Copies of this chain bind each other. A is one copy, B any other.
Amino acid sequence: MTNQTTDPYYSRTSEQWEAAPRQDPTSSDAPGPLTTDEVWNYDHNGFLFAQGLFSQEETEELLREANSLAENWPEDRPGIVREPNSDVVRSIFRLHKHSDVYRKVFADRRLLDRAKQLLGTDVYIHQSRVNYKPAMNGKEFFWHSDFETWHVEDGMPNMRALSVSVFLSESHEFNGPLMLIPGSHETYIRCTGTTPENHFEHSLRRQEHGVPTCEALEKLLEDREIVAPKGPAGSVLFFDCNTMHGSNGNLSPSPRVNLFAVYNSVDNAIVDPFCDRPPRPEYLAERSIEAIQ
């Protein structure tokens, strides 16, 4: 439940947005493959870009799996989201339960060791998905902090999670690359409004609640500039759960396909949602906590 006295990250309780300071560390001193500089940059900017972390051969296999999942997803299995006004697949969720290929990737040391180093603990997968942003047809995604939703709607207590985006196709200027606001992870934007019933059924297609106001965004952008890391398939973007991000539509002839995994600290397992609604389905917010070894 929402409680403004005990919950530092309360949100959607008023018609006025607010900026509140982050209460949690973004990185740790744990050992791992990242250099001190890389950890500092992640801590400072809220994201880290590793160009070409996976080979072309590996990426091709991951892309085949993405296409195969979209084609063969059972009709009665939840976790598939289509573009507004069309049957084109936008996202497929809970891959850590439904794909051996992806389960193996999520445990790959190049991802796992970086996640554990940044979070400083063992981790588990809170959510995983593949996003297809189809050529000529991919829709925009307005600015948002994932943590705001995961906190309010899923019950994630603290900012102790990070997202990993593995590029399964080249990400370039014209296919709607992920845009981030550097440094935005340090500020928690309390959104206006409330959480409607079964919000997730609509919010994955078009967001209206849990999105920051333009004023809030302008504040975050006062002394920072938007960045959109671009690179070949196999590149990986690590970003904090509270880093403000969004993406434009894709009017280019090449799709933008991305594999996402959210690593959450085992010390940050989700509780009851911080709103007056029942928890979202498990394909959006995993409730079985199994540290990845």
Which residues of A line the B interface, CB within 8 A?
A: 135-137, 140, 142-143, 173-174, 176, 179, 214, 217-218, 221, 226, 228, 246, 248-249, 251-253
A226: chain B residues at CB < 8 Å are 174, 252
Could you write out 29 A-B pairs with CB less than 8 Å apart? Answer: A135-B214, A135-B218, A136-B143, A136-B214, A136-B217, A136-B218, A137-B214, A140-B140, A140-B248, A140-B249, A140-B251, A142-B251, A143-B251, A173-B173, A173-B228, A174-B179, A174-B226, A174-B228, A176-B248, A179-B251, A217-B253, A218-B253, A221-B253, A226-B252, A246-B251, A248-B248, A248-B249, A248-B251, A249-B249
Q: Which of A173, A176, A228, A246 has the most CB of B within 10 A?
A: A173
Q: How far is the CA of A226 from the CA of B248 in the complex (A)?
A: 16
Copies of this chain in the oligomer:
2
* Shortest distance from the beta carbon of A106 to any chain B beta carbon, whole Å: 30
Q: How far is the CA of A252 from the CA of B135 in the complex (A)?
A: 22
A253: chain B residues at CB < 8 Å are 217-218, 221
A173: chain B residues at CB < 8 Å are 173, 228
* Shortest distance from the beta carbon of A222 to any chain B beta carbon, whole Å: 9
Measured CB to CB, the nearest residue on chain B to A251 is B246
Q: How far is the CA of A253 from the CA of B226 in the complex (A)?
A: 9
Measured CB to CB, the nearest residue on chain B to A175 is B226
Q: How far is the CA of A219 from the CA of B221 in the complex (A)?
A: 39
* Shortest distance from the beta carbon of A88 to any chain B beta carbon, whole Å: 11
Q: How far is the CA of A248 from the CA of B249 in the complex (A)?
A: 6
Q: How far is the CA of A137 from the CA of B218 in the complex (A)?
A: 12
* Shortest distance from the beta carbon of A220 to any chain B beta carbon, whole Å: 9
A137: chain B residues at CB < 8 Å are 214
- Taking A136-B218, A140-B248, A217-B253 as known contacts, 13 extra A-B pairs with beta carbons closer than 8 A to each other, sorted by chain A number, are A135-B218, A136-B143, A136-B214, A136-B217, A140-B249, A140-B251, A173-B228, A174-B226, A176-B248, A179-B251, A221-B253, A248-B248, A248-B249
Q: How far is the CA of A135 from the CA of B174 in the complex (A)?
A: 19
Measured CB to CB, the nearest residue on chain B to A254 is B221
Q: How far is the CA of A246 from the CA of B214 in the complex (A)?
A: 24
A217: chain B residues at CB < 8 Å are 136, 253
A221: chain B residues at CB < 8 Å are 253
A214: chain B residues at CB < 8 Å are 135-137
Q: Which 3 interchain pairs have the tightest Cβ spacing?
A: A136-B214, A248-B248, A221-B253
A176: chain B residues at CB < 8 Å are 248
* Shortest distance from the beta carbon of A197 to any chain B beta carbon, whole Å: 22
